Amino acid sequence: MWMKILLVALSLVVLSSSIHVTSSSHSSSNVSDNAQASALFVFGDSLVDNGNNNFLSSIAKSNYYPYGIDSPRGVATGKFSNGDTFVDYLGAWLGLPAPPPFADPTTTGARILGGVNYASAAAGILDETGQHYGQRYSLSQQVMNFETTVRQLRPMIPNLSRYLSKSIAVLVFGSNDYINNYLLPTLYPSRFFYNSTQFATLLLNHYERQLLALYAVGLRKFVLPGVGPLGCIPNQLATASPPPLPGRCVDSVNQMLGDFNRGLVSLVDTMNNGSLPGSMFVYGNTYSALGDILNNPARYGFAVVDRGCCGIGRQITCLPWTPPCANRNEYVFWDAFHPTQGVDAFLAQRAYAGPPSDCHPINVQQLALINFA
- The answer to whether residue 335 is catalytic is yes
Annotated active-site residue in 338, 344, 358, 360: 338
Annotated active-site residue in 177, 335, 344, 358: 335
- The answer to whether residue 269 is catalytic is no
Annotated active-site residue in 46, 138, 190, 279: 46
Q: Residue 333: which H helix or E strand, with range?
A: strand 331-333
Determine the Cα–Cα distance for residues 120 and 99; give it in Å rounded to an integer: 14
Determine the Cα–Cα distance for residues 262 and 244; give it in Å rounded to an integer: 25
Instruction: Give which of 280, 260, 257 is closest to 270, Cα–Cα.
Output: 280
Question: Angle at which helices 341-353 and 286-295 pack, to 10 degrees?
Answer: 130
Determine the Cα–Cα distance for residues 349 and 365; give it in Å rounded to an integer: 10
- The answer to whether residue 18 is catalytic is no
DSSP 27: -
Instruction: Give which of 332, 264, 262, 285 is closest to 304, Cα–Cα.
Output: 332
- 221-225/280-284 β-pairing: parallel
203 CA to centre of own chain: 17
Output the 3-class SS for 175-209.
HHHHHHHHCCCCCCCHHHHCCHHHHHHHHHHHHHH
Query: Hey, which residues are catalytic here?
Result: 46, 335, 338
